[in-house]
């Protein structure tokens, strides 16, 4: 990259070679109107809003696609560019059915904002009044083709960020439509509902079913926090209003996901249907009955005194809570462990970061299903494959990544993969609890050429690791203390202890068996930290207040520790 000098609106501007005119202008504080351009996406040049005058060029040029060059003389806001932009807007409004009066995006719509900026007080072109489809076949968001301006931001988001290639264009000219796969309803398509397209849509064409009409940008609050749904730990921009969780957006330029989220992080937590535990419960005459914290903690402390105890934590809570949990168990002399298994250790290779997947030219996936859980890693593998990386899947059962893999082999044939990867520049091995010893052995010849990403199946497994919690099965003790948090409980979990304390956010088969249930806050009702797969300690923020009788696990565990001291 070298420095270049150009003139924008008479002002001397210094830019970097490789930048577009749009970027060079932005760097100099000149805002050129855009619609199809989005900073997280490649440039397309479809809408013609960003046209500028360039000295020596015969026609107006799209600033978003024109590379800035040394000596260029550019005018961004002239009568001609203004008139052309207004003309473009008139054409866009005349193409489909844009009615701000009942659109959820009114007030936040980029098309509307540009129309205001260009003084568009009426439309001069007749409208076709052709009914366009509204596709509501997906659970979380709706596509209204009436409001689509064919900017293709959604197509580019699907292709470049999610690397899922569901969206495309069909037909040509005025008949052009956004299409899922080979023109099937969205709900029947290959869409993974990551919602990236929803986030980049400039108009009301993509509608979030939950937050639509829930408040305009000027009415809502944005808070940045960390996703607690898996160990990747994506940054979230959570939108709230009137103590209601409206929407989750990704955060561009954040590590590791760069704004990409998955259905588990963006949508699912907002549609939680499990019944919440809102008060401490104690078993009286065989039935769980609401009790005061004093009574419940008294019962727990009493049970823990002098009896054999096993503490089991689902690593679905904060580092602080896990530390307090481990501390209490140490104080009691009981055994403590985590409920979830851990991925095995290799004995060779160097640890990788999540983003290393994107830089790999050979990716081995073994004993893991990253498209089903920790999905951002799966999407990153797709993205790397799009860039030409070879993907090899080692699996004894079906793996969704096989579709895009160059080869899929059974564990017994893992040696084939080791051979295929031998000449690769950067090998990343993505694995989880399903990694078999024979695969570890077969890949050993690759040695330290392997960067490995061990996907912890727990949400905050790294936090548990830091306080020494290792997988344990429930054993027969007098008391079991189970820190469950928000984690759904596995049906197979059988706790043989005589007295069971369950600290949980939701009712479950486990709370039904419990002698004492202590309510815990949800990810958006608490502060604290989690440790991501990359080992980064990230904060949680209080977005909404917890119900009055819910207490943070770490507070409760410290109260218990004090009672037992």
Partner 1 sequence: MGKIKVATQWLEACAGCHMSFLDIDERIVEFFKHVELTSSPITDLKHPPEEGVDVGILTGGIGNEDELHEAQEMRERAKLLIAMGDCAVFGGICTMRNFFPTAEVLRRGYIETESTVDGQIPQHEDLAPLTDKVSGVGDVVPVDIYLPGCPPTADAIWYVLTELLEGRMPKLEGKVLKYGMDGG
Binding residue (CB under 8 A) for partner 1 from 102, 286, 287, 565 = 102
Q: How far is the CB of 364 from partner 1 (least distance, A)?
A: 53
148 counts as binding partner 1 under rule CB under 8 A: no
Instruction: Give me the helix-helix angle, 319-332 and 553-564, nearest 10°.
Output: 20
Site string for partner 1, 519-538 (x = CB under 8 A): --------------------
Looking at residue 200, the DSSP 8-state letter turns out to be: H
79 counts as binding partner 1 under rule CB under 8 A: no
Between 130 and 188, CB nearer to partner 1: 130
Q: How far is the CB of 146 from partner 1 (least distance, A)?
A: 10
Burial of residue 478, with CB atoms counted within 10 A of its CB: 0-12 exposed, 13-18 middle, 19 or more buried: middle
Single out the segment in contact with partner 1 by CB under 8 A; choices: 117-125, 439-447, 479-487, 488-496. 117-125
Binding residue (CB under 8 A) for partner 1 from 99, 217, 284, 419 = 99
Single out the segment in contact with partner 1 by CB under 8 A; choices: 122-130, 176-184, 396-404, 426-434. 122-130
Looking at residue 307, the DSSP 8-state letter turns out to be: S
Q: How far is the CB of 194 from partner 1 (least distance, A)?
A: 30
Helix residue spans in 333-449 (DSSP H):
356-359, 375-386, 414-421, 437-443
Applying CB under 8 A, the site for partner 1 has a residue count of 19
Q: How far is the CB of 184 from partner 1 (least distance, A)?
A: 24
Looking at residue 188, the DSSP 8-state letter turns out to be: G
Single out the segment in contact with partner 1 by CB under 8 A; choices: 68-76, 118-126, 260-268, 455-463. 118-126
Contact 502, 313 (CB under 8 A): no
Binding residue (CB under 8 A) for partner 1 from 41, 115, 245, 260 = 115
Contact 250, 238 (CB under 8 A): no
106 counts as binding partner 1 under rule CB under 8 A: yes
Bridge partners of 430?
365, 453
119 counts as binding partner 1 under rule CB under 8 A: yes
Instruction: Give me the helix-helix angle, 553-564 and 293-304, nearest 10°.
Output: 60
Looking at residue 423, the DSSP 8-state letter turns out to be: T
Between 119 and 333, CB nearer to partner 1: 119
For residue 522, the tally of other CB atoms under 10 A from its CB is: 20
Q: Report the C-alpha gap between 532 and 256 in whole angstroms.
A: 9
103 counts as binding partner 1 under rule CB under 8 A: yes
Question: Can you read off the two tokens belonging to residue 425?
Answer: 């520049």
- Coil, strand or helix at 445: helix
112 counts as binding partner 1 under rule CB under 8 A: yes
Contact positions toward partner 1, by CB under 8 A?
99-103, 106-107, 112, 115-116, 119, 121-123, 126-127, 129-131
């Amino acid at each position: 990259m070298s420095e270049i000098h150009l003139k924008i609106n008479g002002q001397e501007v210094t830019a970097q070679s490789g930048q577009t005119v749009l970027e060079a202008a932005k760097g100099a504080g000149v805002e050129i109107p855009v619609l199809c351009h989005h900073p997280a996406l490649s440039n397309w040049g479809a809408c013609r809003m960003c046209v500028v005058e360039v000295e020596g060029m015969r026609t107006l040029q799209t600033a978003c696609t024109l590379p800035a060059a040394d000596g260029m003389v550019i005018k961004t806001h002239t009568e001609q560019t203004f008139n052309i932009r207004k003309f473009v807007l008139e054409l866009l409004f005349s193409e489909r059915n844009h009615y701000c009066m009942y659109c959820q995006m009114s007030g936040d719509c980029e098309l509307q904002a540009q129309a205001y900026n260009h003084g568009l007080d009426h439309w001069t072109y007749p409208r076709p009044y052709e009914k366009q489809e509204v596709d509501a076949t997906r659970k979380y968001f709706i596509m209204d083709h009436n409001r689509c301006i064919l900017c293709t931001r959604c197509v580019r988001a699907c292709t470049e960020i999610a690397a899922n290639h569901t969206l495309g264009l069909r037909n040509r000219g005025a008949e052009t439509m956004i299409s899922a796969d080979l023109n099937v309803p969205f709900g029947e398509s290959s869409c993974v509902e990551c919602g990236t397209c929803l986030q980049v849509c400039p108009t009301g064409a993509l509608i979030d079913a939950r937050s639509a009409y829930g408040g305009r940008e000027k009415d809502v609050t944005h808070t940045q926090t960390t996703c607690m749904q898996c160990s990747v730990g994506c940054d979230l921009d959570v939108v709230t209003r009137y103590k209601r969780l409206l929407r989750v957006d990704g955060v561009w330029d954040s590590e590791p996901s760069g704004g990409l989220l998955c259905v588990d992080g963006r949508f699912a937590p907002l549609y939680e249907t499990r019944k919440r535990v809102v008060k401490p419960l104690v078993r009286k005459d065989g039935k769980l009955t609401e009790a005061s914290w004093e009574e419940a903690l008294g019962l727990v402390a009493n049970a823990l005194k002098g009896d054999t105890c096993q503490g089991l934590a689902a690593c679905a809570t904060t580092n602080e809570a896990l530390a307090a949990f481990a501390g209490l168990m140490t104080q009691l002399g009981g055994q403590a462990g985590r409920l979830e298994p851990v991925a095995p250790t290799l004995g060779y290779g160097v640890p990788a970061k999540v983003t290393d997947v994107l830089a790999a030219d050979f990716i081995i996936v073994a004993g893991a299903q990253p498209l089903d859980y920790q999905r951002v890693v799966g999407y990153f593998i797709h993205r790397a494959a799009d860039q030409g990386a070879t993907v090899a899947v080692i699996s004894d059962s079906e793996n969704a990544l096989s579709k895009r893999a160059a080869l899929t082999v059974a564990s017994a044939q893992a040696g084939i993969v080791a051979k295929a990867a031998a000449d690769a520049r950067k090998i990343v091995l993505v694995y989880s609890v399903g990694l078999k010893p024979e695969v570890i052995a077969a890949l050993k010849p690759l040695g330290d050429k392997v960067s490995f990403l061990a996907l912890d199946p727990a949400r905050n497994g790294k936090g548990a690791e830091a306080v020494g919690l290792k997988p344990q099965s429930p054993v027969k003790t007098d008391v079991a203390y189970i820190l469950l948090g928000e984690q759904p409980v596995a049906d197979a979990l059988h706790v043989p202890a005589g007295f069971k304390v369950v600290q949980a956010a939701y009712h479950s088969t486990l709370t039904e068996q419990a002698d004492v249930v202590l309510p815990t806050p949800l990810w958006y009702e608490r502060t604290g930290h989690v440790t991501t797969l990359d080992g980064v300690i990230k904060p949680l923020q209080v977005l909404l207040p917890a119900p009055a009788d819910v207490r943070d696990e770490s507070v409760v565990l410290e109260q218990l520790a004090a009672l037992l001291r």
